[in-house]
Amino acid sequence: MLQYFETLQDQSGNALSLDGTATVVVSAFPGGGAAPIYSTNGTASPIAASTVTADITGQISFYAPDADYILKYYLNGTLYKTKSPVMLFDGAAQVTFPDVGAVNAYAITNAALETSLRSGLRAYFNAANSNTGPSTFAYNTLAAKNLVQRGPIALPAGAVVASGIYPVEYDGTQWQLLEDTLTQPFYPISPSEQVFITGGGISPVAFQYPYGCPRRFGALGTGPHDDTIAVQAAINSNAIYWGWPGDVYGVTSVTWPASGLSEAHFNGSELVGIATTATPCISHIKSNFTDFYGYTVNGGSYAGVTPNSNYTCSSWWFNGVTSGTPVGASQFNNFYGMSHLSAVRGLVYGGLPGQSSSTTVHSENRIYGMNNVGVSNPMYVNSSTGFVHCYGCVFFRDASTWTTPTLPSTARSYEQVVGNLYINGGEIIASNSLLGNATDGSAIVTGVYIELACPLNITGNNARYNGCRINLPNQGVNMVTIGAAVTGVLAFNGCTFLRAAGNGATDRTPMVQSSSAGFEVELNDCASFEWGFLMAGANCKLIAGCVARYSNHRLQITDGSAGGDSNIYFINSPKASILPEANATASTAGQPAGACDHMGYTTNGWVLDVISGGGSTLTVTTNAGPTGYLASQLTCHATGQSLVFNGDPSTLTSLKASALRVRPGEAYWLSAWLNASGTNPALLAAYYTLAGVSVSNQLVADATSIGTGAWVFGEGPLIVPATAAYMLIGVQGVVTDVQFTDVRLQRAN
């Protein structure tokens, strides 16, 4: 309380008490009700009627609590003056006094302090000790009273920290800690925490930390320490999880619940796995409608070895059961930054490896930015009803943080067993193992830079790559492989396939190699650089072993060798042939120039040119054709060397009447189905000058690629040589039978 002094005087400076009785009546402002005032510092000596009488010197004094007052001045009972308002403020109540008590028993004493307790009495103390549980506070040697948090709730351990400055107020029964700018933040138990505690959860112990923070429940955040219980309590007790900046929470495993959590802020903290026995994951994600910010999980170490081998994965995104009836879904979650460190597997979406695909709905989930350091298998998708969208993610398999930094043979940048995976932007980098797109569902990869030193392995249907740049620096390695007995379609749309300059001139490895003949691969508006296409002298195609479909595909190879092919070709299929088609019922003489029966149902338009060996023939045969074709084709029976042309080169007149007109530098694409029984079959083009003189023959496919005993689709590029004016398409046989059908020619530039 503040002691108020005043001397009552007349205009001459004489004490008013010399003229009679001088008094002052004190009342509350506003309102004018009686105000409690005292003759000593405390409530032990109240002044009756709140009226103070001046002594012989004219002086009055009284003590009053901090407040505003009305002072009315009387002389011999007559009011002669009023002061309003008069503010009384005791500075001692704002002074911090040192704690002279003990642990859990705080105390202050000073002559300036009041001598009795009253409601509203305030004080500040500088704690000498941290509390370890419920505590008391003793004011100026008066009886100790309970010290509680606002509520009032008994103090938990850590509510008062040594050297902390704390304001308190007496409420008539006990002292309450007040929240104040001079002290640390204080967060009393919230309604959601009370529900959590009532349901069997643990109570907070460090109220200076915000709601949803593991430190609030006793986490140390030092990594090796087991903070599992505290982290799980923080997750379950509040709608927002709040990691303390820089903390590393050692956990065996924690679960993000299916409901109740709206946000999770890691704030630069991370979870680190400390399990010592086999455990599915460090972080189990079951949530719905939850936004995660800066999500970071570290695989940790076990027995001195990094990563911790006790975990199947770091994060398991799965809300269900491994077998039987699903129990829930995980939907509409957003991860704004996801990082995995030091692990074999980073994220498993759906069933764990070795388990059947999960059928629980895991959809409408998004990851905005993913980073992996020291993770050999960053992502594994195994959810038949799963849909996950990745934006700007980097799928990078790496072992740089491992005790033995060697990647296993099973390392993959991402694997999709089943489900729907959508990758938009970012990078996919794999240097030593297969990259997987698998069975049911779909994978749509858009605008991604892909760097490989091993094939992209496709074992299922509905993979789509759109606008991607795919780089494979190594020779002798396919860019894409298709598994055996796989059905479906793989489509590349607007993609660029790259290898180092010069590779295409020497390396005859197919860009796509399939082990399933029925699979289909589409290249639509794509471009390949340094991937060879040569079936003459090699058996190299862009797409080998399955059905290939091209739509405006740009093929470019840099070949600096003498006579090398450095041209650019544009490939399209199904190939709309520019060979004029013969009418099967018309005579040869009535055909337009170059007309021929390209399917081989008749011999119309085809001319047999016997180079050597008598008895060679050209006939229509009815052997089984390629799959999907009729049993009708042309057969060149060659007893020596024979050629079958789509025109007659024997004279200049017949050549002009039947050959295609061409000019040097034009590019063409020639294809046909062929089946040879002997040696040296070939699919070729023959070129002639304006004068009808032979320039050269250019092979598209030969014995290397055609082989014997089976139908083979031969195709490849043609470039019209210098001086050439006419071109004929031909099939060659040397002491063999060569069957052929569906001969097509198209422009390629």
Measured CA to CA, the distance from residue 366 to residue 335 in angstroms comes to 6
Q: What class, spelled out in words, does domain 588-747 have in CATH?
A: mainly beta
Q: Which residue has the tokens 């055996």?
A: 484
Calculate the dihedral angle through the C-alpha atoms of 28, 32, 36, 40, rounding to the nearest 10 degrees: 70
What pLDDT was estimated at residue 323? 47
What lies within 8 Å, CB to CB, of 554 at 6+ separation is 526, 527, 528, 568, 569, 570
Measured CA to CA, the distance from residue 521 to residue 514 in angstroms comes to 9
DSSP one-letter string for 307-364: S-TTEEEEEEE--S-SSSS------S-EEEEEEEEEEEEEEEEESPTTSPPB-S-EEE
Evaluate the CA torsion angle 125, 206, 293, 401 in order and state its sign: positive
- Give the residues of the chain that fall short of pLDDT 50: 180-182, 322-326, 432-435, 437-440, 586-590
The radius of gyration computed from the CA coordinates of the chain, to the nearest angstrom, equals 46
The domain locations on the chain are 2-88, 91-177, 223-571, 588-747
What is the greatest pairwise CA distance in the chain? 162
Measured CA to CA, the distance from residue 199 to residue 206 in angstroms comes to 20
Would you call the peptide bond into 156 cis, given omega within 30 degrees of 0 as the criterion?
no
Angle between helix 191-198 and 228-237 (nearest 10)? 120
Q: Which two tokens stand for residue 378?
A: 């960053």
What pLDDT was estimated at residue 564? 63
Q: Which two tokens stand for residue 235?
A: 């997750």
How many other CB atoms are there within 10 angstroms of residue 404's CB atom?
A: 7
Q: Estimate to the nearest angstrom the gap between the alpha carbon of 240 and the chain centroid.
A: 21
Q: Which two tokens stand for residue 461?
A: 């249907």
Q: Residues 687, 724: contact at Cβ < 8 Å?
A: yes
Measured CA to CA, the distance from residue 749 to residue 727 in angstroms comes to 16
Nearest residue to 249 (alpha-carbon basis) of 201, 300, 204? 300
Q: How far from 266 is each of 310, 316, 337, CA to CA, in Å?
A: 24, 18, 10
At the topology level, CATH places domain 2-88 in Immunoglobulin-like (2.60.40)
Measured CA to CA, the distance from residue 549 to residue 569 in angstroms comes to 15
Measured CA to CA, the distance from residue 283 to residue 623 in angstroms comes to 63
Q: Residues 390, 426: contact at Cβ < 8 Å?
A: yes
Q: Residues 531, 565: contact at Cβ < 8 Å?
A: no
DSSP one-letter string for 207-258: TTSPTT-GGGGT---EEEEE-HHHHHHHHHH-SEEEPPTT-EEEES-EEE-S
DSSP one-letter string for 528-583: EES---BBSSS-B-SEESSEEEEESEEEE----STT----EEEE-SS----SPBPP
What pLDDT was estimated at residue 440? 47
Q: Residues 596, 577: contact at Cβ < 8 Å?
A: no
What pLDDT was estimated at residue 522? 94
Q: Rounded to the nearest 5 degrees, what angle is found at the Cα of 383, between the Cα atoms of 379 and 387?
A: 80
**In the beta sheet, which residues pair with residue 59?**
7
Q: Which helix (H) or strand (E) holds 419?
A: strand 415-430
Q: Which two tokens stand for residue 635?
A: 């057969």
Q: Rounded to the nearest 5 degrees, what angle is found at the Cα of 425, between the Cα atoms of 421 and 427?
A: 90
Residue 9 DSSP code: B
Measured CA to CA, the distance from residue 342 to residue 431 in angstroms comes to 18
DSSP one-letter string for 40-60: SSSSSSBPGGGEEE--TTSEE
Measured CA to CA, the distance from residue 392 to residue 428 in angstroms comes to 10
Measured CA to CA, the distance from residue 319 to residue 317 in angstroms comes to 7
Residue 504 DSSP code: H
What is the 3 state secondary structure string of 596-651?
ECCCCCCCCCCEEEEEECCCCEEEEECCCCCCCCCCCEEEEEEEEEEEEECCCCCC
Architecture per CATH, 223-571: 3 Solenoid (2.160)
Q: Residues 715, 744: contact at Cβ < 8 Å?
A: no
Side-chain-side CA neighbours of 721 within 13 Å: the count stands at: 13
